[in-house]
Amino acid sequence: MTTDITRCTEIIRAKLDGISDSQPQVGVILGSGLGPFADALEPLAEISYADLPGFPEPGVGGHNGRLLIARVGNTVTAVLQGRAHYYEHGNAAAMTVPVRTLAAIGCETLVLTNAAGSLQQQAGPGSVMLLTDHLNMTGVSPLFGETGNERFVNMGDAYNAELQQLFRGVAAKQQVTLHEGVYAWMSGPQFETEAEIRALKVLGADAVGMSTVPEVILARHQNVKVAALSIVTNYAAGMSETPLSHEQTLEFAALATESVQKLLTGFLEEYNA
């Protein structure tokens, strides 16, 4: 794994060689259906996951497999278009190489996005939710097998308060309604039962999904600051008569694309302002 990270770092730096002020400061991982944000960028470099050893081969609709380096405002950003999920191979550490590579090339902050089901009646499909905390309901960790005291990561401040405040300010300026809440990570790939959703509500969850939490843990293990946005694609089981499906996820992710683009662009423009 260390060899993969070293090689990925060399490949990325070679692509950026000769481009001034091109060291990425912020990494962004895009969730299902959010490719238009990446498509709107003018990349300094573009690399297929297939050319980066240890990067996943996305197996989910709405996930392309490429890394873009682009400048947004004064912030050089590394955008990962596509992620691996725990449910694909039962591997919670599937995003270890990508996240550690981002840290190795200089990213001090990681912004995560995902598609999620809402447990808040007021946060319907097509809305955006700023994550303030999470519940790991899977019982697994991407740090299984790690050694040394660094594996005992403090998750009390996993979602950085200053980054949250920056997103709130951007949302106000852009007139984007930004809901807030706690994200529950379930293993998938099946959607949750109505009983599971009732239990998650009791535990304090506001959104539920099948990703993101492993990447948060991996980032904090590398002392990378984290912020995260959920794009609400459906109401959770039992809250709507609409059957849950991945097609619905992609449809409503597209509705939130404009809001997400405004939030991410504004965040990156103000990050180094």
Hey, what are 246's tokens? Answer: 């991945």
Closest CA to 182 of 219, 216, 151: 216
Tell me: pLDDT of 114 over 90: yes
Confidence of residue 217 (pLDDT cuts 50, 70, 90): very high
**Residue range(s) defining the domain that contains residue 93:** 2-143+152-271
Alpha helix (H) ranges present in the chain?
2-16, 35-39, 86-89, 96-104, 161-174, 194-203, 213-221, 246-255, 257-271
Q: Look up residue 78 and give its amino acid.
A: A
Q: What pLDDT, on a 0 to 100 scale, did the predictor assign at position 142?
A: 98
Query: Which residue shows structure tokens 């939030």?
Result: 263
Q: pLDDT tens digits, residue range 143-174?
A: 999 999 999 999 999 999 999 999 999 999 99
Q: What is the CATH number of the domain that holds 50?
A: 3.40.50.1580
State the SS3 of 206-238: CEEECCCHHHHHHHHHCCCEEEEEEEEEEECCC
What's the pLDDT at 219?
98
CA distance 120 to 2: 41
How many domains does the chain fold into?
1
Q: What is the mean pLDDT of residues 219-232?
A: 97
Amino acid letter, 205: A
* Amino acid sitting at position 52: L
Res. 182 pLDDT band, cuts 50 70 90? very high
Tell me, rounded to whole angstroms, the distance of Cα 273 from its chain centroid. Answer: 23
Backbone φ and ψ for 82, nearest 5 degrees, come out as 120, 145
Q: Is the pLDDT of residue 10 over 70?
A: yes
- pLDDT at position 63 is 47
Categorize the per-residue pLDDT at 250 as very low, low, confident or very high, splitting at 50, 70 and 90.
Answer: low
Please give the positions annotated as active site. 32, 63, 85, 87-88, 115, 210-211, 234, 246
